[in-house]
């Protein structure tokens, strides 16, 4: 046990709850409230849970997995024709070594990043809002349709969860959704290759996610989360569930009542794919502890306010090589008031006191 990481708000949980969310789609408010109570408990005590009853068919999930496999199976030169560093809106292929959440230890993964689709002539894209724009779809027959369909369906599950979280906090159901119109919500297709000879290489280093919450579809075990005592707990793999975790924005909005739990993927034991959809609110949303919750908790706000998109963009600049290079060349600037990387979550809390 690492006492440096102790977080008294989190239980010393040993297991990850499983919640059937079917009732969230029920017309009966009591059915929605019953699911919301469970979501609230898991978000407060663990920050991580699995959902079933999400309504995403096996065919829909397999369609995405199949296209990801086809994309990553291409030669590197073909994948590099969609290299993320040649586009303006942070979408495209992320080769191994491009992204380093922990600069001291490299990640063994490659990814294809896409996000909420907006045309070039959308007013927010024309205004140069970072992270918003169209997707550079790969030139692969049959790729776009199943991937887009998965995005749309999972985004709707995210909207239902957002209503559930509001109910769990005794807020109006649309309280958070008012701020979700053109969100920079990214879907990542991640491939962790199996390399029996790789020494001391991790899948993805310890971090929290930067948005409101994440809906993750993995294809194999490997994900671990940190409990209140600093112990790493494995998320059991289920092929019928999505893994949900609270991100930085909901932690700040709820004044720390919900917890952005640190997680990681260690050295992989088999080839693995994972598909996180990071559910974000609109770029320009100011996220500050909600006054209702601050009053309930007493003792004042526990977090400083920030602009949701700026937080996401700044963390992204810190961790992507091509954005670091653009920063060094003066082509882009770090948003004002940006936080350092890894300052939220249990693994980050010991580094820097908040506010």
Ligand X SMILES: O=C(O)CCC(=O)C(=O)O
At its nearest, how many Å lie between Fe ion and the CB of residue 216? 8
Distance between CA 253 and CA 262 in Å, rounded? 18
At its nearest, how many Å lie between Fe ion and the CB of residue 30? 34
190 binds ligand X (CB under 6 A): yes
- Bridging pattern class, strands 232-234 and 213-218: unpaired
Indicate the residue whose CB is closest to Fe ion. Answer: 209
Asked if 279 contacts 312 with a C-beta cutoff of 8 angstroms, the reply is no
Indicate the residue whose CB is closest to ligand X. Answer: 274
Pick one of 147, 204, 229, 246: the residue that binds ligand X (CB under 6 A): 204
209 binds Fe ion (CB under 5 A): yes
Q: Which 97-156 residues touch ligand X, going by CB under 6 A?
A: none
Residue 274 contact among ligand X, Fe ion, none, beta carbon within 5 to 8 Å by kind: ligand X
Residue 130 contact among ligand X, Fe ion, none, beta carbon within 5 to 8 Å by kind: none
Instruction: Give residue for tokens 């601050």.
Output: 294
CA dihedral 326, 328, 333, 335 (to 10 degrees): 110
Q: Is the dihedral of CA 72, 78, 80, 86 positive or negative?
A: negative
Residue 217 contact among ligand X, Fe ion, none, beta carbon within 5 to 8 Å by kind: none
Stretch that binds ligand X, among 47-55, 151-159, 175-183, 215-223 (CB under 6 A): 215-223
107 binds Fe ion (CB under 5 A): no
Query: Of the two residues 241 and 274, which places its CB atom closer to ligand X in the complex?
Result: 274
How many residues at the interface with ligand X, by CB under 6 A?
A: 11
Q: Is the dihedral of CA 321, 218, 158, 202 positive or negative?
A: negative
Pick one of 274, 277, 281, 308: the residue that binds ligand X (CB under 6 A): 274
Distance between CA 311 and CA 337 in Å, rounded? 9
Query: Of the two residues 22 and 343, which places its CB atom closer to Fe ion in the complex?
Result: 343
At its nearest, how many Å lie between ligand X and the CB of residue 77? 25
Which string of DSSP letters, residue by residue, matches 83-142?
A: BGGGSSSS-EEE-TTSB-SSTTS-B--EEEEEESB--TTSHHHHTT-TT-B-----S-TT
226 binds ligand X (CB under 6 A): no
Report the candidate in 348, 198, 185 with the shortest Cα–Cα distance to residue 263: 348
- SS3 annotation, 254-318: CCCCCCCCCEEECCCCCCEEEEEEEECCCCCCEECCCHHHHHHHCCCCCCCCEEHHHHHHHHHHH
Query: Of the two residues 175 and 207, which places its CB atom closer to Fe ion in the complex?
Result: 207
Query: Of the two residues 137 and 237, which places its CB atom closer to ligand X in the complex?
Result: 237
Query: Of the two residues 129 and 202, which places its CB atom closer to ligand X in the complex?
Result: 202
Distance between CA 285 and CA 185 in Å, rounded? 13
Query: Of the two residues 24 and 273, which places its CB atom closer to Fe ion in the complex?
Result: 273
216 binds ligand X (CB under 6 A): yes
Instruction: Give residue for tokens 């509001």.
Output: 166
Distance between CA 41 and CA 284 in Å, rounded? 29
From edge to edge, which strands make up the β-sheet containing 18-20? 18-20, 48-52, 242-246, 213-218, 272-279, 186-192, 110-115, 92-94
At its nearest, how many Å lie between ligand X and the CB of residue 87? 20
Asked if 260 contacts 221 with a C-beta cutoff of 8 angstroms, the reply is no
At its nearest, how many Å lie between ligand X and the CB of residue 140? 22
265 binds ligand X (CB under 6 A): yes
At its nearest, how many Å lie between Fe ion and the CB of residue 48? 10
Pick one of 79, 175, 263, 339: the residue that binds ligand X (CB under 6 A): 263
Pick one of 38, 45, 110, 209: the residue that binds ligand X (CB under 6 A): 209
Residues in contact with Fe ion by CB under 5 A are 209
Residues in contact with ligand X by CB under 6 A are 188, 190, 204, 209, 216, 218, 223, 263, 265, 274, 276
């Amino acid at each position: 046990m690492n006492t440096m990481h102790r977080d008294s708000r989190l239980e010393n949980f040993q297991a990850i709850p499983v919640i059937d969310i079917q009732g969230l789609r029920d017309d009966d408010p009591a059915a929605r409230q019953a699911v919301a109570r469970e979501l609230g408990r898991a978000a407060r005590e663990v920050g991580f849970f699995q959902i079933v009853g999400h309504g995403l068919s096996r065919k829909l999930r397999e369609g995405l997995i199949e296209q990801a496999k086809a994309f990553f199976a291409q030669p590197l030169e073909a994948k590099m024709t969609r290299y993320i560093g040649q586009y303006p809106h942070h979408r495209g292929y992320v080769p191994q070594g491009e992204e380093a959440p922990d600069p001291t230890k490299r990640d063994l993964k490659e990814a294809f990043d896409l996000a909420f689709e907006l045309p070039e002539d959308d007013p927010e894209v024309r205004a140069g809002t970072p992270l918003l724009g169209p997707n550079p779809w790969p030139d692969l027959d049959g790729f776009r349709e199943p991937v887009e369909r998965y995005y749309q369906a999972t985004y709707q599950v995210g909207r239902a969860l957002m209503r559930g979280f509001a109910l769990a906090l005794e807020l109006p159901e649309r309280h958070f959704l008012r701020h979700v119109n053109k969100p920079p919500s990214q879907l990542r297709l991640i491939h962790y290759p199996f390399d029996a000879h790789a020494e001391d290489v991790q899948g993805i280093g310890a971090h929290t996610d930067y948005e409101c919450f994440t809906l993750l579809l993995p294809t194999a075990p490997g994900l671990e989360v940190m409990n209140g005592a600093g112990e790493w707990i494995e998320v059991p793999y289920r092929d019928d569930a999505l893994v949900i975790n609270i991100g930085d924005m909901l932690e700040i909005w709820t004044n720390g009542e919900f917890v952005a739990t640190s997680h990681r993927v260690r050295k992989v034991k088999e080839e693995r794919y994972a598909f996180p959809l990071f559910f974000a609110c609109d770029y320009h949303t100011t996220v500050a502890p909600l006054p209702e919750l601050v009053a309930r908790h007493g003792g004042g706000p526990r977090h400083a306010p920030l602009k949701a998109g700026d937080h996401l963009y700044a963390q992204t600049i810190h961790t992507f090589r091509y954005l670091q290079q653009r920063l060094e060349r003066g082509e882009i600037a770090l948003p004002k008031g940006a936080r350092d990387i890894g300052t939220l979550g249990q693994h980050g809390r010991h580094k820097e006191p908040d506010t």
